Structure 1
Amino acid sequence: MGSSYFYLEFLLVVLSLLRSKFSNPAIFALDYSLAPEISFPSQVEQALDGYNYLLATKNVPPSCICIAGDSAGGTIMLSLLLRLARPNVDGRVSGELNGDPKIVSSKSNKPGMACLISPWATLVSPAHRDTDSDYLDAFRLHVFAHGYVGRKGSVFDPVASPGNCKDVDWWREAAPLKGFAISYGSEEVLACDIRDLVGLLHDSGISVVADEDEGGVHAWPVAGLFLGSTKESRVIGVRKMVDRIAGLMVDA
């Protein structure tokens, strides 16, 4: 959806649950530009700018930051990690967005962890398969992918489409300090692609906790908050996500 306003109720629930785990949690929501009006790499530049704002202006230690996103937001967070690790790849991101000048290494600016819900890891992939349950379909997803990269971009660019990055060393450089928590539904169009990403990260020696919701569809922890039939069913996915964050970040 792109707009942080759409996620306001979700974010307030997350914040309420985080307060039971941490003494002073805060959420910084990025309202990034939407495609096709604005194309890649603008969204990644904006994410870098927001991350740099937290580090340089708010003096938040990177180890205390959990970056998070669902669907295309997960794409941008994966792209952000790859950019933080190798900020000058192809020279496409402005130098002032690569972090405070005092931050001299990719290790020192790594976030504590990444929490991803149904990340759209690979923009276009034969692994995207329609299911009877999911509200997404592969054809529309691929149309959106081309709109995201624009006429001058490529859906196979490993920064735009992180699932296309098979460079193990790059992923090791990019991985958050405490790794990844990734949740997705077994019946979503992106399920096979996400499993491939989880396998790649795991085989690279990166800590990754994956929660596959049996019978679940795309980004259900978010959608379920609006569509769940009971109070508990509405928050069960969010509660599990917060538990994963606390399990990795409580001593950060």
Structure 2
Amino acid sequence: MASEAPSSSSLSMPGVLALRVKMVSSGLLRLVTVPARLRRWDGAPTVFQDVLFATIRAMFKNMTIAQSRSMFKGTTETHLDLCRETKQTPKSITLDEVVAHWIGDEDADIVVFYLHGGGFSQPCTLGHMQYLHRLVTDMNCLGGASIAVLLPAYTLVPDAIFPTQLKQVATMLLHLLQQRNRDPSRIMIAGDSAGGNLVFTLLSHILHPRADVPRITLTSPFRAVFVFSPWVSFSTNFPSVAENAGKDILEHSMLRRWAAMYVGTADGEGPVSRTLGGDAYSEPLLADASWWQNMHTVAQQIYVWAGANELFVDSVRAFFDKLRLGWVNGGGAPQRVVLSVAAEEPHIGPIMDVMYGHKEKSESQYALEAWLREKLV
């Protein structure tokens, strides 16, 4: 099983300190320029978010992989932290190719097979897991079918490139279907950002099997699919990338760099002007609408969420149009594939709310939970 992080010998503490200085400087600059920007505000909805998001963008723009590994724990270690925080016994599935971690009761009625985001280069954060734990807890209080999350800790770039991640999640999903005897109707597939990309890569593989990835044959469609802010295009030429540059947490040069690393066309971690090498599997927007025909035989329903203030919103809309056209032309009912674009929300807004400590749920979180509740009857 591949390691989740490089060895500590590759880490540079002076580099990490310099990165943190850049982050703090960017946040302070954003704060002190608030009065000058008020008349033509182009930032996040609140000053707190505006400053925080500027700090996050500075991190993404300047952070190397080695620095990120010294700053953030791996997915497996973070899962142990979540279990300590929630006073639960850690439970995982360990295969030769990959490990996956349970959030909730592994004997729950429905398993949410969740693929985490992070640009394929970053581990799952504690905020992601806290969001998923709250979602599981709250859904299970409603009296319908119970749910639990199974979260694969797939190998990150640059330790492995596409299609390794697809092979790993396909292998774990097959284990769930065959060794754990889970009927597809008792499985939901979900993910965010790069994990949302990987969700559609996995669904593409089921519809159009690749010879180099374990084949998955379904006896029935998955109960549902839901994704937050899926990274469906590696292009940074969409209008929303420029229009939302000061409103979102994402930064365009980082996106090109990490995408190139994922598809294997990067030259180290140097600047990338345009990401080349994607295909219908690794970059879902490149697939024609016809590619998605018969998707209703793979998933009963699909829910796609995007924030109106995120860089990805235009590419998500363009992708959804193709997905919905293919879905309908293939015989799927149009009302069973849904796009929700939330006003003034950033990338992975429902998860970000948890990350920066919002106690009350947003409208987006309530909307997803209402949609999920109908699927648990």
- State how many pairs are aligned: 236
**Do residues 23 (structure 1) and 122 (structure 2) align?**
no
Residues 1:114 and 2:225 are matched in the alignment? yes
Q: Distance in 1 between matches of 2:357 and 2:363?
A: 9
CA distance in 2, matches of 1:135, 1:23: 35
| CA contact 1:124–1:155 (8 Å) conserved in 2 | no
- For 2:369 and 2:205, the matched residues in 1 are separated by 26
**Paired residues of 1:4 and 1:29 also in contact (CA < 8 A):** no
Tell me the residue number matched to 1:211. 340
CA RMSD of aligned residues (A): 2.2
Deviation at 1:5, TM superposition (A): 5.8
TM-score (norm 1): 0.85
Tell me if structure 1 keeps the 8 A contact 2:350–2:364. Answer: yes
Task: Tell me the equivalent position of 2:253.
Answer: 139
Match of 2:262 in 1: 148
Larger radius of gyration: 2
Q: Distance in 1 between matches of 2:222 and 2:339?
A: 19
Contact 1:155 1:161 in 2 (8 A): no
Q: Which deviates more, 132-141 or 37-46?
A: 132-141
Separation of aligned partners in 1, 2:346 and 2:125? 23
Structure 1 residue 250 corresponds to structure 2 residue 376: yes
Alignment equivalent of 1:98, drawn from 208, 215, 220: 215
Q: Is contact 2:161-2:263 (8 Å) kept?
A: yes
Question: Residue 346 of structure 2 aligns to a residue in which SS?
Answer: coil
1:37–1:109 CA distance, 2 compared to 1 (3 A):
farther
Distance 2:151 2:318 in 1: 28
What is the CA-CA distance between 1:109 and the residue it aligns to?
5.2
Deviations 1:148-179 (A, max 9, x none): 111399543110111111141x3123344322
Describe the SS at the equivalent of 2:152.
coil
Structure 2 residues not aligned, in runs of 5+: 1-117, 267-274
Counterpart position of 1:12: 133
Counterpart contact for 2:228–2:306, Cα < 8 Å? yes
Equivalences for residues 27-66 of structure 1 within 5 A: 27-66=149-188
> Which deviates further from its counterpart, 134-143 or 212-221?
134-143
TM-score normalised over the length of structure 2: 0.58
Matching residue within 300, 307, 310 for 1:188 = 310
Of 222, 233, 236, 2:351 maps to: 222
Partner residue of 1:172? Answer: 293
Residue identity matched to 1:98 = R
Deviation for aligned residue 1:12: 0.8
Cα distance between partner residues in 2 of 1:44 and 1:18 = 29
Match of 1:75 in 2: 197
